[in-house]
Chain A
Amino acid sequence: MEPKPIDLLLDCFRKMLLIRRFEETLSDLFERGALGGTSHFCIGQEACAVGVISAAADTDYIVSNHRGHGHLLARGLDPVRVFGELMGRTIGYCGGRGGSQHMCAMDHSFLGTNGITGGGIPVATGAAFALKYRKESRLVLAFFGDGAANQGTFHESLNIASLWKLPVLYVCENNRYGMSVPVSASTSCLPIAKRAAAYSMRGVTADGMDLLAVRRVAAECIAHVRSGAGPVLLELETYRFCGHSKNDPRVYRSREEEARWAERDCIVLLGKRLREEFGISPDRLESIRTEVDAEVEQAVAEAQAAPSGDDRCALGGVYA
């Protein structure tokens, strides 16, 4: 039986909170020196991941980028195993080999995050090619940022996907900065969705801070792609509230600009609508928050207690 629309929205709210709390906790772990390497947080962009992924089928494939924790959690991966991967534990989805930017969960049709900006776009396009070749009704969601839209792979892949009518939804999360460079200084054609016209493809821009808008527009795009009419480029206007990665002092933008975007926090906006338009009580929303906080705390503890990999995990499995 289909879940009631309000239950779906509450689940979206819960997932957005989960992503936010996950990322905040991760940031704390980095600050305490508990983790090596780096991570790219998606705090502020949660509605993009949750909105699009909740509008797709669970069997639709996802290819994501370096900023992929939101996509992983929105797809329903186990936070214990995602934390475990970031901590290099054997329980991690890739046994510690992949880490933040290279995480895959084929049992969730999650074809992987990818640490090369724009590197996942042709992989997603090829996956869509395989689906079309086998006449499957599934499609591929390809997530990337505004920075990747200036890579050759973006242009090459969109051109081919359009020519061959491949079942792929390109989701560009335009968070306004490629690391430190504002999109206005890197991109000659804005909005980015306009570039779809160059490839005879439908291009749509939507408010990435409004979960309901993202869901609605994503559902339309997905229906178009699934009908066999070809790919769509969906641009979601959003903002990362944090730096590009850990240790980013954000010298390239003002605190005033950040405050303006914080007023449009996707979680706050959705909470308000759930209360005002759907009659959900503040207590209910607060209890979801409490549950999520406890879940994340428990996940970190479980992941930390798990063992790290051994020589075989480090040195084996280069070839299939």
Chain B
Amino acid sequence: MPELPDPTHETYYSAAVNEALDEELARDPAVVLLGEDIGVYGGAFGVTRGLFQKYGPERLWETPISENSVVGMAVGAATLGLRPVVEIMFMDFIALTLDQILNSAGKLHYMYNGQVTVPMVLRTPGGAKGGYGPSHSQMLTNLLVGIPGIKVVAPATPAAAKALLKSAIRDPNPVVFIENKRLYPRRGPVSGPDFVQPLECAEIAAPGSDLTLIAYSAMVPLALEVKKGFAAEGGADIEVVDLVSLQPLDTDTVFESVRRTGRVLIVEEACRTGGVGAEVAARIAAECLDVLEAPVLRVAAADTPIPSSMDLEKIVLPGIPDIVRGVHELMAW
């Protein structure tokens, strides 16, 4: 892992998000939190725990179950200078908010020719956690990366979650901040209140020389595990690139890695068709054909809804064996 400047302590991913919210609420009175059950309950996944007690109903606004209007309200409030942070309980529910994300959040700054900015954040946990079923499990990045005017980030570590959420809140643009239910209980070092991280940068999560394994969100820890496995067996030396930012894409970091390794495997929790992986593959094909020693391959979720049964869920989602198979296939080319 890249070295974290000034790590002050270790904590859970969910607590790192909480720290970022806490510190930004304390720093800037324009920051307000909106969402369902974010008050005394502390959010469906406990991410806002303690903040209502600390900041009160003036800063944390518990909303009715009206996702589209709540996101639209965040847009309106942002145009007048507030910095709303909306929690959407499960990423599947962003379907209810897409009109306001697409037609308001992403367009207002452009279509009103810069007269307004929309500094808001939409936080939502994506991904499957085992058994949540079709309406509470999807990683819907495919829907978001085709929307101009919004930024999309999907941090994989507690450190990135904290530093990037702070940046997202301070950014003048609408940011969709994708958390992950599988990442919430993971622990790692985090920095203090002054450290922020640029939103648009991918990261080399672990260096290597034979193959570039590109991942984001909960697929990053899987990728790192696969790297470790190959290293232990004296197999391929894998470089893991954590995309971090899905819109815009940091293609410089990706291309640089591909130029070093010549082999690319992209792994994502979203459906295979028409998503981040497809976009990254297309850009690599256009820019790096001269160095590729094998076709760009992808490991992704099947193009199905996520089934409820945990056994079925495992079949649909990408797992370590799928990634290992992909690495073998590329190395054999």
B103 at the interface (CB under 8 A from A): yes
The answer to whether B113 touches A317 (Cβ under 8 A) is: yes
- C-beta contact mask, B59-81 vs A, less than 8 Å → 1, else 0? 00101101011111111111111
* Choice from B58, B75, B84, B112 contacting A104 with Cβ under 8 Å: B112
Pairwise interchain contact B112-A159, C-beta atoms closer than 8 A: no
Q: How far is the CA of A128 from the CA of B69 in the complex (A)?
A: 13
Nearest opposing residue in chain A for B71, CB measure:
A122
User: Is there an interface contact between B100 and A119, defined as CB atoms closer than 8 Å?
Assistant: yes
- A131 sits at the interface (CB 8 A): yes
Q: Could you say which residues of chain B place their CB within 8 Å of the CB of A163?
A: 64
Q: Contact check, A129 vs B77: say whether CB atoms are below 8 A apart.
A: yes
B115 to chain A, nearest CB (A): 4
Query: When the two chains form their complex, are residues A126 and B74 in contact, meaning their CB atoms are under 8 A apart?
Result: yes
Q: Is A160 an interface residue (CB 8 A)?
A: yes
Report the Cα distance A156→B63, complex, angstroms: 10
A1 CA / B79 CA spacing, docked (Å): 33
**Are A130 and B75 in touch, CB under 8 angstroms?**
no
CB B228 to nearest CB in A, in angstroms, measures 37
Considering only residues 160-182 of chain A, those with a C-beta below 8 Å from chain B are 160, 163-164
CB <8 Å contact, A320 and B112: no
Provide the bound-state CA to CA distance between A288 and B181, in Å: 66
Instruction: Report yes or no: B100 in contact with A130, Cβ–Cβ below 8 A.
Output: no
Pairwise interchain contact B112-A133, C-beta atoms closer than 8 A: no
B192 at the interface (CB under 8 A from A): no
Q: Contacting B69 at CB < 8 Å: which of A93, A94, A122, A133?
A: A122
Q: Render A122-144 as a binary contact track against B, CB cut-off 8 A, 1 for contact.
A: 11111111110110000000000
Q: Within the complex, what minimum Cβ distance (angstroms) separates B250 from chain A? A: 15
A45 to B274, CA, bound (A): 45
| Smallest CB separation, B255 vs chain A (Å) | 22
How many of B's residues come within 8 Å of A, CB to CB?
Answer: 44
Q: Mark B102-117, 1 if CB is under 8 A from A, else 0.
A: 0110011111111111
User: Is A319 an interface residue, CB under 8 A from the partner?
Assistant: yes
* Best-surrounded residue of B32, B74, B76, B99 (most CB of chain A within 10 A): B76
A104 touches B115 (CB 8 A): yes
Return A187 CB to nearest CB of chain B, in Å.
20
B173/A319 in contact, CB under 8 A? yes
Across the interface, which residues of A come within 8 angstroms of B173, CB to CB?
319-320
**Stretch in A105-113, A216-224, A228-236 with 4+ CB within 8 Å of B:** A105-113
Contacting pair A94 B66 (CB below 8 A): no
Q: Are A319 and B109 in contact (CB-based, < 8 A)?
A: yes
Contacts A97-B113, A112-B108, A119-B100 given; indicate if A318 touches B73 (C-beta within 8 A): no
A160-B63, A318-B110 given; A125·B116 CB < 8 A: no
State A83–B32 Cα separation when bound (angstroms).
Answer: 38
Asked if A191 is an interface residue, CB under 8 A from chain B, the answer is no
A95 within 8 A of B: yes
Question: Which of A125, A164, A319 is in CB contact (< 8 Å) with B72?
Answer: A125
Q: How far is the CA of A133 from the CA of B79 in the complex (A)?
A: 14
Please state if A105 and B82 are interface contacts (CB–CB under 8 Å).
no
Q: How far is it, in angstroms, between the C-alpha of A159 and the C-alpha of B77 when the chains are bound? A: 17
Chain B: minimal CB distance from A284 (Å): 38
From B64, B66, B76, B114, A127 is in contact (CB under 8 Å) with: B76
Q: Is A116 engaged at the interface, CB distance under 8 Å to the other chain?
A: yes
Q: How far is the CB of B77 from chain A (nearest CB, A)?
A: 4
Distance between B259 CB and nearest chain A CB, rounded to angstroms:
28
CB distance from B114 to the nearest CB of A (A): 5
In the complex the two chains form, what is the Cα distance from A124 to B173 in whole Å?
Answer: 19
CA distance A245 to B109 in the complex (A): 26
Jot down 29 A-B pairs with beta carbons below 8 A, ordered by A: A94-B112, A95-B113, A97-B110, A98-B112, A104-B108, A104-B116, A114-B104, A116-B99, A121-B69, A122-B69, A122-B70, A122-B100, A123-B79, A124-B76, A125-B73, A126-B74, A127-B77, A129-B76, A130-B77, A133-B77, A152-B69, A156-B69, A157-B72, A157-B73, A160-B66, A317-B110, A317-B113, A318-B109, A319-B151
With A94-B115, A105-B115, A318-B109 already in contact, 4 other A-B pairs whose C-beta atoms are closer than 8 Å: A111-B79, A129-B82, A157-B73, A320-B119
